[in-house]
Amino acid sequence: MLTMKRRVWAAASAAMMATTAFGAQAVLADKYPNGQVKVFNWGEYIDEDLIDEFEDEYGIEVIYDTFDTNEAMYPRVEADPSLYDVICPSDYMIEKMIQNDVLQEIDWDQITNKENIGEVYLKSCEGFDPGNKYCVPYTFGTVGILYNKELVDEDAVIDSWDVLWDETYKNDIIMQDSVIEEDVELSHVVLDKEVDITKGRKLIGQESYPLAISKGTKI
């Protein structure tokens, strides 16, 4: 008899849950009549108040997740590319994702405000996305180079990223809070902050595709 009561209670609970779920779905359908879009973006890249404004204006629910490095984002997307509708990687990572068949081509007929995108940015994207098939320019920024005047000849011209591959400064370039121990060989490697490379390691990238080491990595 106790078992029967449990079964009846379980059935009644299941019915209540189904009704509740159906009711919630109906409310969501009323609030977001145009469906849902899942976005994976860098943290703090947009004011999240804009998401509420977008949802109100277009009737689309935004599921918004963030990442802090391209290297943290990539394995999650590679494991299941269907998790997100829109992702915002950096240029070199877009190239890698294209090569590994992780991205879907963009239907430019759906980008109704394309005329608002500067041609210079579209052309720049062709360096890693020939034909602008997989990405739409979203943000643009610059990163500076800091150097110690006591370690660089006063006549030296430091005005280009090319200085990172200048043999004059071989093994003397390091990112903030990073440690490179003795007898380490690096070639075409870009380090994020707080990277620790232990003694005797050899890391070799390519000039057109530098090896990127993400923040907090110990090798």
Beta strands 196-197; 179-180: pairing state: parallel
Instruction: From 216, 178, 219, select the one nearest 199 (Cα to Cα).
Output: 219
Residue 50: pLDDT band with limits 50, 70, 90: very high
Average pLDDT over residues 77-105: 92
Of 51-55, 63-67, 70-74, 137-141, the least confident: 137-141
Return the pLDDT at 19. Answer: 43
CATH number (3.40.190.10, 3.20.20.100, 1.20.120.1760, 3.30.390.50) of 32-125 reads 3.40.190.10
Task: Break the chain into its structural domains and give their ranges.
Answer: 32-125, 161-213
Instruction: Give the pair of three-digit tokens for residue 78.
Output: 């590679």
Helices and strands: H and E segment counts in the chain = 5, 9
22 — pLDDT class (breaks 50, 70, 90)? very low
Whether 118 has a pLDDT exceeding 80, the answer reads: yes
Which candidate, 96, 41, 93, places its Cα nearest to that of 67?
41
> Could you tell me if residue 101 is left (phi over 0), alpha (psi between -120 and 50 degrees) or otherwise beta?
left
- At 213, the pLDDT band (50, 70, 90 cuts) reads confident
Distance of CA 42 to the CA centre of its chain: 6
Confidence of residue 21 (pLDDT cuts 50, 70, 90): very low
Band of pLDDT at residue 15, cut at 50, 70 and 90: very low
